[in-house]
Structure 1
Amino acid sequence: MTLLHLDLQVIGSAAGWQVKLVRDGAEVAEHTMARATGQGAQPAVAGGLTPAELDAVLQRIRARTCQAADPERLGTQLYAGLVAPVWPQIDAALAGIERLELGLDLHGARELAYLPWELMRGPDGYLARGLDRGGSVVEVAITRRNPRATIAFPPLRHPLRYLFVIGTALNDSVRAGAECFGVLRLIGDRIQQRIIQRPSQTELGALVEAFQPHVIHLISHGEIDPATGAASLRLYDDTIDREVTVGGDALAERLVRKAVAPAMVVLSACASGAPLAPGDCEPLATSLVRAGVPIVIAMAGEIDDVACRLFARSFGEALAQDQPPVWAAMTGRRAALRSTELPADAVDWAMIELFLGGDIASDVAVAPAADNPDAALIDGWLRRSDVDLLPSFNGKRSAAPFCGRLDIVEAFYQLMAERRPPVLCITARPPSNEPLSQLGKRRTLIELTATATRDGHVPVPLLLHRKHPEGYPRSEAELLRRLASAIKRTRAAYGLAPRDGVLAGALTATDQDAWSDALTADLVALRDDARTTHALIAQRSGNVVVLLNDVHEYGTGTPYLLQTLVTSFGLGAAGRVIPVVLTFRYGSPHDDTLLDVTEGEKRRSCFGPPMRLEPFAPGEDMLAYQRVLLQPYRSAPDAATRRWFLELRQRPMVDRVQRWFAKGTQGYPGKLWSDGFQVALEAAMPDEANNFRGIVRPASDDDLLALVRKQP
């Protein structure tokens, strides 16, 4: 698309502010924006809002008590003061243009940065809505340009490394951020995700340094110091076991490590953008850009769930589909502006703000997999995996999306970094009177298999289940034969040269010591051949990891595996650790064996503390329900094929939703695709008169986003 980038450079002076319209470094026009008399820095406009009136409008926006005329009056005043005098020059430059970026350079007038310039409204409506040019649409992005430290950052290339940081406990106050987290996790299986909850500041810095993310998405509370106007986020401090406020400079120290910045930071926290209150402090997001982050997306205030969902959906799809994320965010903003789900006086769409370094192009996009051999390799490994990685029907998932289990995923990362013992045991207790645990053991291993693949490791999955055509192995030799077959399938999936397995030959004899040595030899050969064949795996020091499901069903193979086969090197040997992940359901004859080796007096050092699968906790269950409702995964009934979102604006409604869906799931992930969950959904749907019970509402994102991409 044809892009026109114009800068509006603003510099303070005694008479007001000098505004220069700049194109390609050359001044096109200029004017002086008059200063209103009063405490705060405000543009003076004849017949416009008085300083007291403007302050009152901002106060109502912060309190979410806007009057019907507030957004239009404020937007008109901001446009009249800043843009109207140079609009003829802008309009004349729009011939043949499809996208217009108005970059606001306020670093010479930081006292104006508190105002919501994204709300600017011209004679034909809000600029963010786009400009109708007689049958064509000029998309408009209002960005905030700032000087950026010239340090390195990773180019946006698939597979993206996306780090979610949940800074505080998930509750109502960060529901929009939580939903943003949930929606983005639904989009694009190519994204390599890592999620950490309530890290200390030290842990956050170390994690950023180790993971080297392209995108950091920080979900937290934001607040403004009423005395200074300075913005801060609330993060956990493990040294005092409570949350503390962290300002922009301190946050930048944690996110920019060893002179390398992430390519993008998303701050899903109110007050992380323009503070909407006068003061001499710059927006928190500006501090990150100044420290070297190229693109920061921030929130000026509390964002309605609808606006957040539309933004997140459009933004997430851009990352997954190789589109410019800045312009995708603008599409989401425009969709929120046009949404009939928001009140006419809502300004949530204008609260999503984009901060860019002065040297960064707004049309930068993620490099497609076709231009990135690494992404193509990983996509191929996932497709050829020996695991059902949830193929789609008609573009929709065939199983419920992975929900929760953040502690287990993080433990898996620690396992692969050899920062915990080499055997990760995941345990579950089934609900009373039910044969299956319903806690998602196999689904968790599927997710870990995909995570390992995207991270440059080589998973060897043996994810057996009750309905598997070959059943479970019931002896030591049968377990090893299954592992030998799994190794062979993995070699084929990774395109490695055929190799006669040592284990297959060893199993012709009865020497169990020779069996374990042969298994180690085959696994180490798999790792070495993968590193030799694929530079990506070698660069990331990729390792083999064996994943075993339902090990309590392995007959005599169960004690053999737990007591003999795995050692302090996993399934490897000294200097060649091969980590293992296994799941175990209590209620079998082998319960005592597992307890002995993991927790009892005979505890073996190769086992770390077991990770227990439990029903979803309050808060975690709400995220799970929302993720499932937003991502259809069944072909019938009709309600299961449509997208829904939860209405969570009031505490009584949250309690009602939790009780309603808990009837169908009892918090068990395995029941999210059950008929009981569908019964709860259908009971909460609109009735024939379209009267909503207040629990679920249709999510018409697809239609609305498609519409705004075509029309202003």
Structure 2
Amino acid sequence: MNILKVVATYVYDDFRVTFTSRADGAFDVRACDQEGAVATSVFSVPLSETDLERAVLQFARGHGASRKATPSKPTTRDVGGDGPPTMNAEQLGGALADALFQGDVAAAYNHARAHADDRERGLRLSLSLANTPALLSVPWEFLYRAPRFLASQRRTPLVRLLDAGSLAPPPEIHQQVRILGVVASPTDLAPLDVAQERRRVEQALAVVCESGRVVLDWLEPATPRTLRQNLRDGNYHVLHYVGHSDFTEQGTGVLFLEHSEDRRSVPVDDTLFANLLADQRMLRLVVLNSCEGARTTLTDPYAGVATTLVQLGVPAVVAMQFEISDEAAIVFAEELYTNLISRQDPIDASVAEARKAIYSEVDSVEWATPVLFVRDPEVELFRFEVPADPDAVPTAPPGAPPAEPSSAASDGAGAGGGQQIAATTDDETEPVPAAGGWTKRRRLLAGIAAGVLV
């Protein structure tokens, strides 16, 4: 008996918000919907810098300590204080949403959402932050319009857009996604359990590695020299870093690798890191995660590095804005890989689904930890030449008719050459592609979750 395999595929309208700094400390907002209609307003961060910093640091620390036998101690200066939480996630997200969605911008977003729903599409919120670095440290992923956190929903994903630099064409993935794992534990910094980190990554990748869809290599030792040497062939699609982070005297982010002889720390600033990666034409994703790096200032040390890498031409960068627990990291990893590799879903839909998995299965705050930076939210990161794994998607209901050939199948839009149908798992109907609805297939690869481990 023929069984119709159903593939969840997502088409989005884009709602792009651009900020411009004002002399009074606020920001002019320009919102543009899919049809080109423009709305404007003014945005002010709804909390004072001190209160926002305190709230962010409470979120960054509260969940991590509860899952460790010995609570971690921040290794850099603490400017946030240890008082009671300023507000919960809904309150912070609601305050951010009220400040962003007001007046004409609120009306425009509501109209765009209704228009997308009518066409069975999702609505992606793209926050253009390249020209307003002061807003990079705002935890936008908490944006909350009751009863939903936008970034945790496939229908309303959120991406941080760094519209700078150039894009290379996507490589064709015929067999495997190749990931280079970099775990650095210098002897002069707080020790990391490298063996445990590797186990976590391998556990997260076990299913896709066993299926032959992913190859994971480890950089040993994690020195600047070995990193350069391993990148010489230029055949890695994903690089993820697990280790320590800090700031230079100029306030920019710095990562630490190891010295080849005594394994003491070697600082790698964003310029050096970018130069080590600049020849990697196959590299489509970089994942940055600090194992001991619970946030200790309002400024996110990875934001500057992510911006540099996007300017360099890396299409997508994932960074953890807070420390993330082992349990949340593994749930996030497994859900991401199922969606990104086996199902070959878009990156924004996959990240949203993985966040939802953390929210429903692990923690009501940690789900907002992963941050996705992109050069172009519509970019095709990979062109998969292997079909989606049929075991990773649900089958059609009993009695469903066989799939008919379609134009989508003939032009490569259909995973596995079948008809694109929505696999509905929530109460709402999932967005499906209309005929000719999109030409850029935003496929992503494996590897994001490999770097979310603490």
Within the candidate set 234, 259, 281, 1:237 is matched to: 259
The answer to whether the 8 Å contact 1:7/1:103 transfers is: yes
Give the Å deviation of 1:228: 4.9
- Establish whether residue 251 from structure 1 lines up as the match of residue 268 from structure 2: no
The one-letter amino acid of 1:350's match is A
Take 2:204 and 2:108, find their aligned partners in 1: how far apart are those partners? 40
- Establish whether residue 300 from structure 1 lines up as the match of residue 321 from structure 2: yes
Q: Classify 1:14/1:264 alpha carbon distance in 2 versus 1 (closer, same or farther; 3 Å).
A: same
Q: Classify 1:326/1:175 alpha carbon distance in 2 versus 1 (closer, same or farther; 3 Å).
A: farther
- Establish whether residue 9 from structure 1 lines up as the match of residue 18 from structure 2: yes
Q: Classify 1:84/1:164 alpha carbon distance in 2 versus 1 (closer, same or farther; 3 Å).
A: farther
The answer to whether the 8 Å contact 1:273/1:284 transfers is: no
Asked which structure has the greater RCO (Cα within 8 Å, sep 6+), the reply is 2
Deviation sequence 1:181-225 (CA, Å, 0-9, x none): 431243242223322233321221221231421122222233346
Report 1:78-93 matches (<5 A): 78-85=96-103, 86-93=105-112
Structure 1 residue aligned with 2:405: none
Structure 1 residue aligned with 2:353: 331
Give the Å deviation of 1:175: 5.7
- Establish whether residue 349 from structure 1 lines up as the match of residue 349 from structure 2: no
Deviation sequence 1:448-495 (CA, Å, 0-9, x none): xxxxxxxxxxxxxxxxxxxxxxxxxxxxxxxxxxxxxxxxxxxxxxxx
The answer to whether the 8 Å contact 2:130/2:307 transfers is: no
Structure 2 residue aligned with 1:26: 36
Give the Å deviation of 1:292: 0.8
The answer to whether the 8 Å contact 2:315/2:379 transfers is: no
Give the Å deviation of 1:158: 3.1
Q: Classify 1:221/1:326 alpha carbon distance in 2 versus 1 (closer, same or farther; 3 Å).
A: farther
Query: Which stretch of structure 1 is more off in the superposition, 238-247 or 306-315?
Result: 238-247
SS in 2 for 1:150: coil
Deviation sequence 1:261-289 (CA, Å, 0-9, x none): 51112223369999861489943222211
- Establish whether residue 290 from structure 1 lines up as the match of residue 307 from structure 2: no
The answer to whether the 8 Å contact 1:12/1:18 transfers is: yes
Q: Classify 1:305/1:140 alpha carbon distance in 2 versus 1 (closer, same or farther; 3 Å).
A: farther
Take 1:26 and 1:275, find their aligned partners in 2: how far apart are those partners? 40
Within the candidate set 49, 52, 59, 2:50 is matched to: 52
Within the candidate set 171, 176, 179, 1:160 is matched to: 176
The answer to whether the 8 Å contact 2:112/2:123 transfers is: no
Deviation sequence 1:225-249 (CA, Å, 0-9, x none): 6x65432222113266322232222
Structure 1 residue aligned with 2:232: 209
Normalised TM-score (structure 2): 0.68
Q: Classify 1:336/1:90 alpha carbon distance in 2 versus 1 (closer, same or farther; 3 Å).
A: same
Within the candidate set 367, 379, 391, 2:384 is matched to: 367
Query: Which stretch of structure 1 is more off in the superposition, 280-289 or 167-176?
Result: 167-176
The one-letter amino acid of 2:52's match is L
Give the Å deviation of 1:156: 5.0
Take 1:212 and 1:243, find their aligned partners in 2: how far apart are those partners? 27
SS in 1 for 2:96: helix
The one-letter amino acid of 1:87's match is A
Take 1:143 and 1:273, find their aligned partners in 2: how far apart are those partners? 22
Within the candidate set 120, 123, 134, 2:146 is matched to: 123
The one-letter amino acid of 1:22's match is C
Structure 2 residue aligned with 1:710: 426
Take 2:60 and 2:312, find their aligned partners in 1: how far apart are those partners? 28
Report 1:539-618 matches (<5 A): none
Within the candidate set 120, 138, 143, 2:159 is matched to: 143
The answer to whether the 8 Å contact 1:4/1:101 transfers is: yes
SS in 1 for 2:323: coil
The answer to whether the 8 Å contact 2:244/2:293 transfers is: no
Take 2:295 and 2:61, find their aligned partners in 1: how far apart are those partners? 15
Take 1:274 and 1:63, find their aligned partners in 2: how far apart are those partners? 8
Q: Classify 1:332/1:708 alpha carbon distance in 2 versus 1 (closer, same or farther; 3 Å).
A: farther
The answer to whether the 8 Å contact 1:272/1:300 transfers is: no
Take 1:22 and 1:352, find their aligned partners in 2: how far apart are those partners? 25
Q: Classify 1:104/1:272 alpha carbon distance in 2 versus 1 (closer, same or farther; 3 Å).
A: farther
The one-letter amino acid of 2:111's match is A
The one-letter amino acid of 2:324's match is I
* Max Rg structure: 1
Give the Å deviation of 1:354: 0.5
- Establish whether residue 223 from structure 1 lines up as the match of residue 246 from structure 2: yes
The one-letter amino acid of 1:152's match is A
Give the Å deviation of 1:173: 8.7
Unmatched 5+ residue regions in structure 1? 35-42, 131-137, 377-391, 393-706
The one-letter amino acid of 1:82's match is L
Unmatched 5+ residue regions in structure 2? 1-9, 64-83, 186-190, 392-422, 429-454
SS in 2 for 1:140: coil
Give the Å deviation of 1:102: 0.8
Q: Classify 1:370/1:182 alpha carbon distance in 2 versus 1 (closer, same or farther; 3 Å).
A: closer
Within the candidate set 59, 64, 70, 2:88 is matched to: 70
Structure 2 residue aligned with 1:197: 220
Structure 2 residue aligned with 1:263: 284
Take 1:145 and 1:116, find their aligned partners in 2: how far apart are those partners? 14
Give the Å deviation of 1:311: 1.8
Q: Return structure 1 stretches of 4+ with deviation > 6 angstroms.
A: 271-275
Give the Å deviation of 1:119: 0.9
Give the Å deviation of 1:110: 0.8
Give the Å deviation of 1:72: 2.0
Take 1:151 and 1:369, find their aligned partners in 2: how far apart are those partners? 23
Q: Classify 1:239/1:255 alpha carbon distance in 2 versus 1 (closer, same or farther; 3 Å).
A: farther
The answer to whether the 8 Å contact 2:270/2:308 transfers is: yes
Give the Å deviation of 1:295: 0.9
SS in 2 for 1:108: coil
Report 1:384-403 matches (<5 A): none
The answer to whether the 8 Å contact 1:10/1:106 transfers is: yes
The one-letter amino acid of 1:92's match is H
The one-letter amino acid of 1:122's match is R
Larger helix share, 1 or 2: 1
Q: Classify 1:198/1:5 alpha carbon distance in 2 versus 1 (closer, same or farther; 3 Å).
A: farther
SS in 1 for 2:355: helix
The answer to whether the 8 Å contact 1:176/1:308 transfers is: no
Take 1:275 and 1:290, find their aligned partners in 2: how far apart are those partners? 26
Give the Å deviation of 1:291: 1.0
Take 1:13 and 1:291, find their aligned partners in 2: how far apart are those partners? 28
